[in-house]
Amino acid sequence: MTRTPLIAGNWKMNLDHQQAIATVQKLAWTLDDADFDYEGVEVVIAPPFTDLRSAQTLIDAEGFKLILAAQDLSDQDHGAYTGDISGEFLAKLNCQYVLIGHSERRMIHNESDQLVHAKVLAAKRHGIVPIVCVGESLEQKNAGQTEVPINQVLEAVKDTGISELVIAYEPVWAIGTGEVATAEQAEETIRGIRESLAEQVDEGLAEKTRILYGGSVKANNVAGFLKMPNIDGVLVGGASLDSEEFANIARFREHIGV
Ligand code: 13P
């Protein structure tokens, strides 16, 4: 089965809503100038919450083919949850995807596997496709705990009945460090995730789920990952803030020569 590659940019807590407008415009124009094949590759951006309305208005008005994601959502739909954002609001802003369980949320905000699971259910309720982020820390890697990302995926999706899912494998030691996993390392873990998903959740879901690699991805290293049979895209942090660099990452086929 062919899975449409997905190139996602996680802006994290960078770029205010005015900078977002300029960045989205430049990204779309750069891709349009290059006759980018949006049918063949999905390009997703995940700006901060306060940028989403500006980005959505611009994308709608200009007919840009960029897809919006949020960086998080509440496990609740509405009520007395100060500071939280409901999936219902995100769906109204045409967010098609939402990042869930990014390692920065797990570490800085102590998000547990249980909360990640509840957020996957919240995304499902509102028709938003979760991009579930998983990955082992340096200590876990050194201790040979290769099962960590697999267990995180299973905890997130078991008993959810979810039918559309994206997973991002982001080894924590490779995030923002410039220390990139080798394509072979990433492929091995991602293949393991897919096999476990097939064995323990659903074979059809495992077959169609896009599994991305993330961690210090740049235009000059993206091709190696996307040549791998199980790696269906990338989740890019720092390099997604530069529209030209991100557009070059999205144009990975030109680096591969296919
Ligand atoms: P960097 O690309 O900056 O390493 O960040 C990766 C990431 O955390 C994307 O979600």
Asked if 250 and 7 touch (Cβ cutoff 8 Å), the reply is yes
Question: Cα torsion for 175, 177, 180, 186, to the nearest 10°?
Answer: -30
Predicted local confidence at residue 1, as pLDDT? 67
pLDDT digit string (tens) for 146-165? 999 999 999 999 999 999 99
Q: Which atom of ligand 1 is closest in space to residue 175's alpha carbon?
A: 4
Outline where DSSP puts E strands in 27-144.
42-46, 67-70, 95-100, 129-134
CA nearest to 174, candidates 111, 99, 130, 234: 234
The backbone region for 116, taken as left when phi is positive above 0, alpha when psi lies in -120 to 50, beta otherwise, is alpha
Its pTM stands at 0.97
Return the CATH superfamily for domain 6-256. Answer: Aldolase class I (3.20.20.70)
Predicted local confidence at residue 176, as pLDDT? 85
Catalytic residues: 102, 170
The backbone region for 149, taken as left when phi is positive above 0, alpha when psi lies in -120 to 50, beta otherwise, is alpha
235 pocket-lining for ligand 1 (C-beta < 6 Å) = yes
CA nearest to 166, candidates 219, 237, 233: 233
Alpha-carbon span 147 to 189, nearest angstrom: 9
Predicted local confidence at residue 250, as pLDDT? 98
23 pocket-lining for ligand 1 (C-beta < 6 Å) = no
Alpha-carbon span 170 to 213, nearest angstrom: 6
Print pLDDT tens along the chain (258 aa): 689 999 999 999 999 999 999 999 999 999 999 999 999 999 999 999 999 999 999 999 999 999 999 999 999 999 999 999 999 999 999 999 999 999 999 999 999 999 999 999 999 999 999 999 999 999 999 999 999 999 999 999 999 999 999 999 999 999 888 888 899 999 999 999 999 999 999 999 999 999 999 999 999 999 999 999 999 999 999 999 999 999 999 999 887 755
Predicted local confidence at residue 257, as pLDDT? 59
45 pocket-lining for ligand 1 (C-beta < 6 Å) = no
Taking CA atoms only, the protein residue closest to ligand 1 atom 7 is: 237
Q: How far does the centroid of ligand 1 lie from the alpha carbon of residue 112, in Å?
A: 20
Residues 6+ away with beta carbon under 8 Å from 254:
none
Phi, psi of 97, deg, nearest 5: -130, 160
Alpha-carbon span 79 to 244, nearest angstrom: 41
238 pocket-lining for ligand 1 (C-beta < 6 Å) = yes
Taking CA atoms only, the protein residue closest to ligand 1 atom 1 is: 237
Predicted local confidence at residue 254, as pLDDT? 86
Predicted local confidence at residue 181, as pLDDT? 86
Domain ranges of the chain: 6-256
